[in-house]
Amino acid sequence: MESFEQLLEKSTTVHGHICAGQVIGVRLAMIGLREIGIDDPRGSQRKDFYVVVEIDRCATDAIQSVTGCTLGKRSLKWLDYGIMAATFINLKTSQAVRITAREEARELARHYCPEIEDRYQQQLQAYRVMPEEELFTIQRVAVEVPAADLPGKPLRRVQCQQCHDWVQDCREVEQNGKILCRPCATGRYYRIIE
Ligand SMILES: [Zn+2]
Ligand SMILES: [Zn+2]
């Protein structure tokens, strides 16, 4: 595993700027991998684990950068919960850990680097050095990973009987005896203009 500083530098390049989210995200991802026994996430163990993120904010880019997991490879899942947390799952051993960034860390940051006046700069520095139990809550969890969520060929492709879009990976729903895509069944985020 590369060092914290090396990983932070990489994630900062990918993300486009250094920010508290990069520091939190890199530390969170390193702990997550450690706790599920992954030390070569981009090499020999790249297919052995899977990450679920619960927010689409700065730290998510750092988690992606450190773990090498991406949406396109299906090794990263995004759940739109708005919670600064991520779960790391070892697919070989079923070990899983959910890590949440503690809200209290913002206040605790004052005790570190008190010489820095700017609150944001203070947090940025403090998050590098604060002990992990002050920054994070770590929970052992059990996660059922559906077969349809795993990388590899889609298990199924079916056509929506209403809009005729094709649906992969068992995401279709049955409603009143009809096979539908989720937008047709539960509403869509867009409106067709023509
Ligand atoms: Zn950022
Ligand atoms: Zn449809």
Architecture category of domain 4-147 in CATH: 2-Layer Sandwich (3.30)
Residue owning tokens 């992990």: 132
65 within 8 A of 18, measured Cβ to Cβ: no
Distance 159 CA to ligand 2 centre (A): 8
**Judging by beta carbons within 10 Å of its beta carbon (0-12, 13-18, 19+), is residue 78 exposed, middle or buried?**
middle
Enter the pTM of the model: 0.94
Distance 154 CA to ligand 2 centre (A): 18
Distance 60 CA to ligand 2 centre (A): 30
pLDDT for residue 34 is more than 90: yes
Distance 161 CA to ligand 2 centre (A): 7
pLDDT of residue 158: 97
pLDDT in tens, 38-61: 999 999 999 999 999 999 999 999
Average pLDDT over residues 72-80: 96
Distance 193 CA to ligand 2 centre (A): 17
Q: Which ligand is nearest to the CA of 12?
A: 1
pLDDT in tens, 106-165: 889 889 988 888 989 999 999 999 999 999 999 999 999 999 999 888 999 999 999 999
Distance 187 CA to ligand 2 centre (A): 10
Q: Which ligand is nearest to the CA of 188?
A: 2
Residue 21 CA to residue 16 CA, distance in Å, equals 12
- Domain 153-186: state its class: alpha beta
Distance 175 CA to ligand 1 centre (A): 42
Average pLDDT over residues 175-193: 95
Q: Which ligand is nearest to the CA of 171?
A: 2
Q: Which ligand is nearest to the CA of 158?
A: 2
Cα 20 to Cα 54, 85, 109, 125, 168, distances in angstroms? 17, 15, 11, 8, 37
Q: Where are the domains of the chain?
A: 4-147, 153-186
